[in-house]
Chain A
């Protein structure tokens, strides 16, 4: 029990709950059911991105391309529906597949070609941003709305009955995904070797593990989840705007690090990341309700990211001093 209290994710969870209570006390609007629904709407894609990026972060790398990548995949999927009347399922599949391909590309650049992860993914960030805009010819792409039959995919995340009744169905698939990914990280080779690579890549290689493949796999998972996130994003926003998406990766990476993933690699958990997302979303959605301009979110998010890494640095220094 004492150990639990010392865990960063547990502390963050408490802080998130406290934060929620404070916001709820200060603002009547914040307490409303619709606010929770709205908060969840914008949390789905962040949580998917964050789960994905947890893997490269644990290997000691990072993926900066998830934000613009997600937009790119959403654009391409929506474009196929609108211009070529693809069935929605097929378009979703395309989005996810596209994400997977970019993820494998990132993994190859980092693992095989030996580029610094932040640099390689900064490049793919720009490339996906350009590519997305080019492929859809610079037009904003709306996915089908929930008023038309093709808009069924909205109910994956939010079931609307009548005009006002909204049920956050998205919690179910997200919960399933979280459980699956917890299993993957903790009980399969992919997860095990992701941690091992981040902890000591050379020792892992000398133990006979094909580190190249597993290193790529971590980035592939991240890309795949950016693809999944693109569907959630399309469901949450009426239209997908080309050229956007820069900065969205910060929400996800920040959440993962706040949730206890070490920026130096080797340490991290899915449940921690999810808690991190919860914390960041409450903060982001809550701040405007207590009269703080939305733009403060970015500043505070930046500071929180630095703060979370500093906690890690100080912890390590203390350990080294012992």
Chain B
């Protein structure tokens, strides 16, 4: 390991209502792989975005190569030698590999783009990385793994001194991960500084030299990878104060009937052979890290995405669900993690959103009974304490928490018995959060059943009667609330991937 090439000191960043980074410090040395870890929303991505100029920092300093710097765009950062390899790839599918690598800075020969030189340079880059990709192949025809290699090649071609990998292995196969590690080791030996963001505990052990952990926008500490155990890292990640007391025991009667049974559900590589049961009046928590396949599972059950195989039983009866229409008919409601995109129609009023799922109950023939519609909406506004001047307010004028209540209203108006809540409190302030919790408890007391997907450990432990943990598209554990601990859940969620 060499001298420190990049140092971030006391970085502070706030967004309206959120203190995203609280005086965080972080450094990278030449020739090391430095892991950055933390739960979802711990501030890793925000920190990297501040570094690469996507966000501006409120205070603190960044010292790179001995000079204090501040970038205003990823391009500036790139030119200086800090490159980020994104989780979502920024590629242009219809161009070839070489064309992608050199886009925006093509070598020219008169009017003509010097494709020959581009291809040769790409080949040289790939040789340096010891990978075999044909630079003349179309980007969209490569596997995700190879596309990622191209991103890395592009990063190196910028003469990068620091490369940030943002969850690079999320979409890769084991063989591809091995190739990736070979490349990273190679880059390390060439004295580059590497930041490696990942959730996979065993990868961290295999590839990194040091591990820094963040939690809730603060810096927790740094460990030398060789000297620490997986448990050490997990303890640092989850060691937060639990504000709310976890549920002590399940509130569901032992003999409660099963309302939803899913058997051997398969949908793409994110949903592999998922089976579980949901009991009447239960809150079934789905825990796991980002990209574990929880949302995909929910969408497949709900019919929003096609599934390859699997059976779904409702109240013991087998049902065919091939579209959201079928799911809603069978009494399933889905509250999406991305409220604005999939939950509400923001340009429409609360009333219009509330009855969207069951308009047929509020029509005489084809004509909407506006009085009845208003009545039911206002009843729920009152019951749920939705804060709005009136029921014909546009949803875009409501706060996040109240928008969420509108989505819940939609499913309650439909009188769905099975509710899938995907990150129900994401982006919602503390007050509204506890209201939503109260509401969920009231719903289960009424006999409704809830599947709750959440990335927040607090939420999972506080709300669930039973917890299912997923990792890499597979179910890795089912834990009764009486036995659940943060450590146990995190252990299941970060199952060993690389032997």
Are the CB atoms of A200 and B113 closer together than 8 Å? no
CB <8 Å contact, B95 and A188? no
Residues in B whose Cβ lies below 8 Å from that of A189: 106, 108, 113
A242 within 8 A of partner (CB):
no
Tell me the minimal C-beta distance from A36 to chain B in angstroms: 35
- Does the CB pair B93–A199 fall under 8 Å? yes
A187/B112 in contact, CB under 8 A = yes
Chain A 175-196 interface mask (CB, 8 Å, partner B; 1/0)? 0000000010001110010011
Bound Cα distance A312, B396 (Å): 37
Residues of A within 8 Å of B75, CB to CB, are: 206, 208
**Does A250 sit within 8 A of B, measured CB to CB?**
no
| Chain B residues whose CB sits within 8 angstroms of the CB of A209 once the complex forms | 103-104
Q: Is the CB of A199 within 8 A of B106?
A: no
> Could you say which of B75, B105, B112 has the most chain A C-beta atoms within 10 Å of its C-beta?
B112
Are B93 and A188 in contact (CB-based, < 8 A)?
no
Do A267 and B90 touch across chains, with their CB atoms under 8 A apart?
no
**Is B115 on the interface with A (CB-CB < 8 A)?**
yes
| A204: B residues at CB distance < 8 A | 92, 103-104
The proximity string for A residues 201-223 relative to B, scoring 1 for CB distances below 8 Å and 0 otherwise, is 00110111100000000000000
Q: Which of A202-260 contact B (CB under 8 A)?
A: 203-204, 206-209
B91 at interface, CB cutoff 8 A: yes
Asked if B94 is at the interface (CB within 8 A of a chain A CB), the reply is yes
B contact residues, total (Cβ < 8 Å): 18
The docked-state distance in angstroms from the alpha carbon of A266 to that of B93 is 8
CB-defined interface of B77-96 with A at 8 Å, one 1/0 digit per residue? Answer: 00000000000001111110
Instruction: Tell yes or no: A198 within 8 A of B by CB.
Output: yes
Contact with A199, one of B94, B108, B111 (Cβ below 8 angstroms):
B94
A195 with B104, Cβ < 8 A, contacts A187-B113, A189-B113, A208-B75 known: no
The size bracket of the interface on A is 10 to 19
B91 and A200 within 8 A (CB): yes
Query: Which residues of B lie under 8 Å from residue A195 when comparing CB positions?
Result: 92, 94-95
- Compute how far the CA of A267 lies from the CA of B96 in the bound complex, rounded to whole angstroms: 12
The A-contacting residues of B in range 76-135, CB under 8 angstroms, are 90-95, 99, 103-106, 108, 111-113, 115
- For A266, the chain B residues whose CB sits under 8 A away are 93-94
**A188 close to B90 (CB less than 8 A):** no
B74 is an interface residue with CB less than 8 A from chain A: yes
Say which residue of A183, A192, A208 sits within 8 Å of B99 (CB atoms).
A192
Say yes or no: A188 contacts B111, CB within 8 Å: yes
Within 8 A of B (CB), among A260-295: 266-267
CA distance A289 to B221 in the complex (A): 84
Cross-interface CB contact of B90 among A187, A198, A206, cutoff 8 Å: A206
Nearest B-chain residue to A262, judged by Cβ:
B94
Q: Report Cα–Cα, A187/B112, bound state, in Å.
A: 6
Chain B residues numbered 37-60 whose CB sits less than 8 Å from any CB in chain A: none
Contacts of A206 in B (CB 8 A): 74-75, 90
| A187 surroundings in chain B (CB, below 8 A) | 112-113, 115
Residues of B within 8 A of A (CB): 74-75, 90-95, 99, 103-106, 108, 111-113, 115
A-B contact pairs, 22 of them (CB 8 A): A183-B112, A187-B113, A188-B111, A188-B112, A189-B108, A192-B95, A192-B103, A192-B113, A195-B95, A196-B92, A196-B94, A196-B95, A196-B99, A199-B93, A199-B94, A199-B95, A200-B90, A203-B91, A206-B90, A207-B90, A266-B93, A266-B94
Question: 6 closest pairs, A vs B, by CB?
Answer: A199-B94, A266-B94, A208-B104, A207-B104, A207-B103, A203-B90
* Chain A contacts to B: CB under 8 angstroms: 183, 187-189, 192, 195-196, 198-200, 203-204, 206-209, 266-267
Q: A195-B92, A196-B103, A208-B75 are in contact. List 6 more A-B contacts (CB 8 A).
A: A187-B112, A192-B99, A199-B95, A208-B105, A209-B103, A266-B94
